[in-house]
Amino acid sequence: MPDVMPTPQRPWVPPQHRESADKMFASPAELAGRSWEQVRQRLASEHTYWLVTASTDGFPHPRPVWGTWWDGTMVFGLGNGNRTARDLAANPRAAIHLQSGEEVVIVEGVAGQIDGMPVGDLWMGKYGVPPPEVDWSTFALRPHKVLTWAFKDLPRSITSWRFG
């Protein structure tokens, strides 16, 4: 999947609050000036990501993972048969959050196991070590939506980046 340019939008607001939202959130002109490239660079350079899946009983299951943004997807590895991999096999909807709670980036989408990725090269280039030599699979999370905001500029900075 090639890296695509998503559309920046304001977050969804119920109709009864839209007039006040116009004063609180960014204008269409401000949104048009926001840089997807900056978001993409943060996604690619982060060291550790928080992957959130839903367990079979529906409870959230957050776990730190290593990975990178590559060719329009979040790519990460999981041990075969571990709980997170089983969660994704049962329900591929997931989210990935960067570590910062101040400069927030949250990727929501659908994840699946993939083959043929140059994971060893990606891993060495980013972390300086090869992937673990265990029973391991590579996954890619295809984004549906990416949410970003700067805590110091809430709620004006909230941006919903939509794909497709």
Q: What pLDDT, in 10s, does the model give residues 62-74?
A: 999 999 998 899 9
The two tokens of residue 26 are: 């960014």
Structural domains in the chain, sorted by start: 7-162 (2.30.110.10)
Q: pTM of the predicted model, to two decimals?
A: 0.88
Question: pLDDT averaged over the chain?
Answer: 87
Q: Long-range contacts made by residues 81-89, C-beta under 8 angstroms, separation at least 24? A: 81/135, 83/55, 84/51, 84/53, 85/113, 85/137, 85/139, 86/56, 87/53, 87/54, 87/55, 87/56, 87/61, 88/53, 88/112, 88/113, 88/139
Q: Tell me the per-residue pLDDT of 107-149, one tens digit each, with 9 for 90 and over.
A: 999 999 998 766 778 888 899 988 777 788 889 999 999 999 9
Say whether 5 sits in a helix, a strand or coil. Answer: coil
Q: 2-29: per-residue pLDDT in tens? A: 567 788 887 777 778 777 777 787 777 7
